[in-house]
Amino acid sequence: MILNTLGFPSTEDKKFISDKEALAFVENISVPPGKVVFKNEFEEVDERLGDLLQSHLVFNPNLRKSSRELLKCSIFDAVRDEERETKVVYSLSGTAVALDKEGAFDYSEGVCIFNIDTLALLLEKEINLLNV
């Protein structure tokens, strides 16, 4: 269903798939050509909303627009009040929690190598980083 909506992923789209079995699975899926063009599917809705959906619903998460970029879409102009917006003063990128590092999760079995105590410690470290 996802690929029927987004279309078959391009070579660029598939670059983020690191697992060979997952990549082989995606490459062997039979998907009708083309993808849904949201502004055509929902003609009664503001065209900007269709564009917003289209720009976010992208197969490769690394190629999706960020939340910050999406919120700059002109469809939000009528409700945006930049004076009331709070700026985030920290970032979670590059933090101590690397749950998806090599071998941390067995995708074929759905098993995480971390037990609940380890996960609690990692979460506590993240919270402490945010409170600095």
Q: What pLDDT shows up at residue 92?
A: 47
Which pLDDT tens digit goes with each residue over 85-118? 776 555 445 544 455 555 555 555 655 666 777 7
All domains of the chain in start order, with CATH: 2-81 (1.10.510.10), 92-132 (no CATH)
Which pLDDT tens digit goes with each residue over 70-93? 888 888 888 888 787 776 555 445
Contact call for residues 25 and 9 (beta carbons, < 8 A): no
Write the CA distances from 46 to 31, 43, 74, integer angstroms: 29, 8, 11
d(CA 72, CA 57): 17
Q: Which of 20-29, 51-60, 69-78, 111-120 has the lowest mean pLDDT?
A: 111-120
Mean pLDDT (the chain, rounded): 75
Collect all residues with Cβ–Cβ distance below 8 Å to 40 and sequence separation of at least 6: 50
| Backbone dihedral angles phi then psi of residue 106, each to the nearest 5 degrees | -90, 100
d(CA 113, CA 104): 5
d(CA 121, CA 47): 46
Q: What pLDDT shows up at residue 116?
A: 74
